[in-house]
Structure formats: C-alpha cells, structure tokens
C-alpha cells in the first residue's frame, strides 16, 4: 500500500507536527512564487502557484479575480466541487446571495446567545470523560462529541446519526482516496441530507436549517439546501474537533502555557487566537485565476490554479518582530489567516472560537493533573488529511 501523500502546502516537520516543513520556509524565502504539484482525488494531481507569505496570502484570498470552485455541471457526477449550495463553489453575486441567508446565524451576538448551550454540552462531556477514566481517548470522549453535538443542535440533526456523518466527513477530507470513493461518499451524504431537507420543507424546525427553509425556502432548490446542510455539517464539527485535540496535545507539551489557559480567564481569548494561529488546522481550497493578474509583481496566467499555505503564512517571520515559531498564549494576538480572508472567510469562525473558549479552560480546570497517556512521540497525528488533527489522544489524570 503506498504511503499517504501530505499536501505540500500543509507539510509538517517529521517528528514535530506543529512545525512547518523546512521546504515551506524555503519557499517563503524565495522571491519567485514557486509552482508545486498538489494531489487531489477530485481534480487529479495539478500544478499550482504556491503562496506562503502572510501579506501575499491576504492579497490572494481577498482578490475576486482568483475564484473559488468550478461551474456546476448537472450532467457530471456529484462531488464536493460540483454541488449546488456549497459556498465553496460560488463567487461574486451568487456567493453573496447564499451567504447572506446564513450570516445571521453566525454573528458574534448570536453565538454569544449559544454559550449556555455550549457550556451544558461541555459539562456533559466532562462528566463522560470522568466516568471513562482515569485514562481515556480525548478524541472520542471529549474533542469530537462537543462540536458534533453543537452542530447537531443547530441544524436539527439527530445526534444518534453522528457516527455516520463523522465517518463521511473524514472520507471527504482525505486527499488519499479515489474519485470513485469521493463520489459515492457524497451520494451517501446527499441521501441523508435530502431526508432532513424534505422534513423541513414539510415542517420547518426551530433550528438553523429549518430557519433557512422557512425564511428563504422559496428562493432555494432542494439541491441547494442539501449542499448548504452538508457544508455546515462537515465544517461545523470536523475542524473544531481537530482543534480541540491538537490544542490540548500542544498545551500538554507546554505546562506553563497550559496553566495560563487554566487559571487566568483574562488570557483565554488571546490564548485561543494564538493556538489557532500556531496549529493552523485547516487548509484552504485552491483558487483559479479568472484573468491574467499579478501577485507581488509576478504574473499568474488566466486558468492557473493558486494555493495558499495557511500553515506557512501564519508563521511568516518577515511579517512581524515577534518570534512566531514560539508558542506564547500571552503575546498580543497576532494576525493570522486560519479562518481565511476576504469574502470566503470561514462563516462559522465565531462559533468555533466560542467552543474553544468554553471547552479548553473547562477541561484543564476539571482535570488539573491531565497529562498524555503515552509518550509524546507516540501521539498519532493526522498530517495527510485536509484538516490536521490526531487519530487518538490518550490522556490520563
């Protein structure tokens, strides 16, 4: 069986998965924007201009001439890159039309109102963790259930169905599968979400998906609603679950930093931003040039694809006088592009922040003696998927 390929834009150092691979730093130092080969089960391996500097990343992600997605083809097999409703497949006015239907559900004010619900879910999972131990897999008992339960509540998805959609999400984010596997996986996702959409069409529930049907159902096709539901279900739990796991693993390696997160509520918001910047769990979908353009005075031809390394951009040592390769949860929050930038920046970023702000301090306060249950070098990190995480995180207390 061939060794899984890591995405070059998300490559991490062997034995030190929180550190960008040397080749990313080398690319960042080059004046010429490099072209690299990117593996993809849906597009095949393709060449792409690679952006690794922070300012270049912002410019690329904010440039409407570098477009997301591809034209929807109803005659082609359904894939995540060929599905109505998925915001990643739209640009310009079409993107704005769909995004405005969802924005109100993810404002800072709306997310603050969800805090009591999130705190209740976190408390229940802390109880479950205590019952499991001393000693448990944090991924299974804590990190994954929390965002999964939150997004199920928001979308009106039965929590009992979580195992199936978690499995399908992991397949969808695996760059080492085949096109055929991805097509079948999305067909399974669509079949599941279609049933939920049909139920909401008949009687819109008191939740996010039901609200979209109630308020905008006349403007949306069932296909678009299915795509919206799939997008939110995957994005709403996978990256936050991974961030809870890798954030915990990282802090357990830095007890002084962990103590600040545990003991000083005033440090929480800044600590979460530092963890998000440092871990950079997600990758960003490639852009495609809609016309000839220049990035840092270098020409990109119409039709060329462009990829951004969030991992490298967040560590751009030329962007600040700070030592960005050192974790420091007390430093003034540094600008990062973990949630993207521009029109396509992450819709649910405030929800993700809130879940992290509630869950991490609560975990360390409930279990002040928490430690890794295996040697640090035996933690099984997930470094070849679209979302950086850990397969298992054994802990004890």
pLDDT tens digits for 15-33? Answer: 899 999 999 999 999 999 9
Domain of residue 275, CATH code: 1.10.630.10
Could you tell me if 396 and 137 are in contact, meaning their C-beta atoms sit under 8 angstroms apart? Answer: no
Q: Determine the pLDDT at residue 2.
A: 58
Of 116, 114, 362, nearest in space to 247 by CA:
362
Positive or negative torsion for Cα 146, 148, 154, 158: negative
C-alpha 148 chain-centroid distance: 13
Please check whether residue 190 is in contact with residue 78, taking contact to mean a CB–CB distance below 8 angstroms: yes
- The angle at the Cα of 173, spanning 300 to 80, to the nearest 5 degrees, equals 70
In a domain, 297, yes or no: yes
Q: Is residue 2 part of a domain?
A: no
Other beta carbons within 10 angstroms of residue 361's beta carbon come to: 21
Could you tell me the residue range of the domain that residue 235 belongs to?
Answer: 8-396
| 103 occurs within a structural domain | yes
Domain count, the chain: 1
CA dist 43 and 136 (Å) reads 39
Which pLDDT belongs to residue 372? 97
3-state secondary structure 231-280: HHHHHCCHHHHHHHHHHHHHHHCCHHHHHHHHHCHHHHHHHHHHHHHHHC
Burial class of residue 318 (count of CB atoms within 10 Å of its CB; 0-12, 13-18, 19+)? exposed
User: Which pair of tokens denotes residue 227?
Assistant: 């795509």
- What is the Cα–Cα distance from 88 to 104, expressed in whole angstroms? 19
Beta bridge partners of 46: 38
End-to-end alpha carbon distance in the chain: 38
Mean pLDDT confidence for 207-220 = 93
Q: Please say if the pLDDT value at position 284 is more than 60.
A: yes
Which residues have C-beta within 8 Å of that of residue 191, sequence separation ≥ 6? none
Q: Which two tokens stand for residue 5?
A: 């390929």
Residue 303: inside a domain: yes
- Indicate if the pLDDT at residue 276 is higher than 60: yes
Q: Which two tokens stand for residue 3?
A: 């060794």
Q: Is residue 69 assigned to a domain? A: yes
* Model pLDDT for residues 98-142, shown as the tens digit of each residue: 999 999 999 999 999 999 999 999 999 999 999 998 999 999 999
Task: Give the integer Cα–Cα distance in Å for 358 and 123.
Answer: 10
Model confidence at 3, in pLDDT bands (50, 70, 90)? Answer: low
| Residue 323: C-alpha distances to residues 33, 180, 249, 277, 327 (Å) | 24, 44, 21, 13, 9
From residue 83, give the alpha-carbon distance in Å to each of 39, 46, 222, 315: 21, 21, 12, 34
- Token readout for 336 is 């990062």
Q: Is residue 1 situated within a structural domain?
A: no
Please report whether residue 3 resides in a domain.
Answer: no
> What DSSP character marks residue 33?
P
Closest CA to 92 of 74, 56, 68, 72: 68
Confidence bin at 73 (pLDDT 50/70/90): confident
Average of pLDDT values for 49-61? 96
Establish if 280 belongs to a structural domain. yes
Instruction: Give the pLDDT confidence of 336-373 residue by residue, as tens digits.
Output: 999 999 999 999 999 999 999 999 999 999 999 999 99
Q: What is the pTM of this model?
A: 0.92
The Cα 252–Cα 157 span in angstroms is 33
């Amino acid at each position: 069986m061939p060794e899984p390929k890591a995405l070059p834009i998300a490559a991490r150092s062997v034995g030190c998965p929180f550190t960008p691979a040397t080749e990313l730093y080398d690319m960042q130092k080059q004046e010429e924007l490099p072209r690299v080969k990117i593996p993809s089960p849906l597009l095949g391996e393709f060449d792409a201009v690679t952006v690794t500097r922070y300012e270049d990343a912002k410019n690329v992600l904010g440039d409407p001439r570098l477009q997301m997605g591809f034209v929807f083809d109803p005659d082609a097999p359904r894939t995540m890159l060929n599905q109505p409703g998925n915001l990643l497949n739209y640009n310009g006015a079409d993107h704005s039309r769909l995004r405005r239907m969802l924005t109100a559900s993810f404002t800072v004010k709306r997310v603050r109102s969800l805090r009591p619900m999130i705190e209740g879910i976190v408390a229940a999972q802390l109880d479950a963790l205590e019952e499991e131990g001393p000693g448990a897999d944090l991924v299974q008992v804590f990190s994954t259930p929390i965002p999964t339960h939150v997004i199920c509540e928001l979308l009106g998805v039965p929590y009992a169905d979580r195992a199936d959609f978690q499995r399908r999400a992991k397949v969808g984010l695996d760059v080492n599968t085949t096109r055929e596997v991805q097509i079948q996986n999305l067909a399974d996702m669509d079949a599941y979400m279609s049933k939920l959409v049909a139920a909401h069409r008949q009687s819109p529930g008191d939740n996010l998906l039901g609200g979209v049907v109630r308020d905008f159902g006349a403007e949306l096709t069932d296909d678009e609603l299915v795509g919206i539901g799939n997008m939110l279900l995957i994005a709403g739990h996978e990256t936050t679950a991974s961030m809870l796991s890798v954030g915990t693993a990282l802090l357990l390696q830095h007890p002084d930093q962990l103590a600040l997160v545990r003991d000083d509520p005033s440090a929480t918001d800044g600590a979460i931003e530092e963890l998000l910047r440092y871990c950079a769990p997600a990758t960003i979908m490639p852009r495609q040039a809609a016309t000839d353009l220049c990035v840092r005075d270098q020409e990109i031809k119409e039709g060329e694809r462009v990829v951004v390394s969030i991992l490298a951009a967040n560590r751009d040592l030329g962007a600040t006088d700070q030592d960005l390769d050192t974790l420091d949860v007390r430093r003034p929050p540094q600008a990062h592009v973990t949630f993207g930038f521009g029109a396509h920046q992450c819709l649910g970023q405030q929800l993700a922040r809130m879940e992290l702000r509630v869950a991490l301090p609560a975990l360390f306060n409930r279990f002040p003696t928490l430690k890794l249950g295996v040697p640090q070098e035996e933690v099984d990190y997930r470094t070849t998927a679209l979302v950086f995480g850990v397969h298992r995180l054994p802990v004890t207390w």
